[in-house]
Amino acid sequence: MEKFVFFGGKGGVGKTTVSSAYALKCAREGLATLVVSTDPAHSTSDVFDQPFGDEPRPVEGHDGLDAMEIDPDEAVDEHLMETKRALADQVSPAMVNEIDRQIELAHQTPGAYEAALFDRFIDVMENAEEYDRVVFDTAPTGGALRLLSLPEFLEDWIDRLIEKRTASIDLYERAAIGDRE
């Protein structure tokens, strides 16, 4: 059986109920299990009648079962701040404001929301060594499909950016040193 299991579908069809029941079944079978909600509605707290946050917490009364609810907006904000911090350490102080402005603009581009959430998914998966099973209760189908198709989308988008950058460099070189042909 796979370590990572994703439950997806249209809104209101019972994804949270089924994913929580499956996670509980896994825990009762002796598997250290984590259920992760990425649905903005965050019904996992309602199912288990206790609040969950961005980090795994034990589900009261259910040994071997932890839960967490990723706040997509918080994940996007944290991704933005983390990117700014990382770049600020790499550039001159004079460039920091312009870099911040560019990052703010980049976070408004298509797929930025999904990219931040995808990074959080990867973070959860990479830090799940203590779990035998990780159950993802995803956002309704549209959001889940956008998230899962993100790598292909970004690859195409980055390819187009590289093409434009290459063309810009070529034009810059021609302007700076002239066309030698």
* Residue at 80 is within a domain: no
Percent of the chain with pLDDT over 90: 35
pLDDT of 100: 78
Contacts of residue 62, Cβ cutoff 8 Å, sequence gap at least 6: 24, 27, 28, 48
- Kindly report the CATH number assigned to the domain that includes residue 63: 3.40.50.300
Q: What is the band of 37 on the pLDDT scale with cuts at 50, 70, 90? A: very high
* Residue at 89 is within a domain: no
3-state secondary structure of 108: coil
Q: Is residue 30 packed enough to be buried (19+ CB in 10 Å), middle (13-18) or exposed (0-12)?
A: exposed
One domain, residues 49 and 24: yes
Q: Considering the entire predicted model, what is its pTM?
A: 0.67
Lowest mean pLDDT among 6-10, 56-60, 156-160: 156-160
Contacts of residue 127, Cβ cutoff 8 Å, sequence gap at least 6: none
pLDDT at 159 over 60: yes
Phi, psi of 98, deg, nearest 5: -65, -40
Interval 18-41 mean pLDDT: 94
One domain, residues 119 and 58: yes
**Nearest CA among 135, 167, 104, 100 for reference residue 24:** 135
pLDDT digits (tens, 9 = 90+) for 50-105: 999 999 999 999 999 999 998 877 877 887 788 778 877 777 777 778 777 777 77
One domain, residues 178 and 119: no
| Bigger pLDDT: 9 vs 148 | 9
| Structural domain count of the chain | 2
DSSP assignment of 78-104, as one string? Answer: HHHHHHHHHHHTTS-GGGHHHHHHHHH
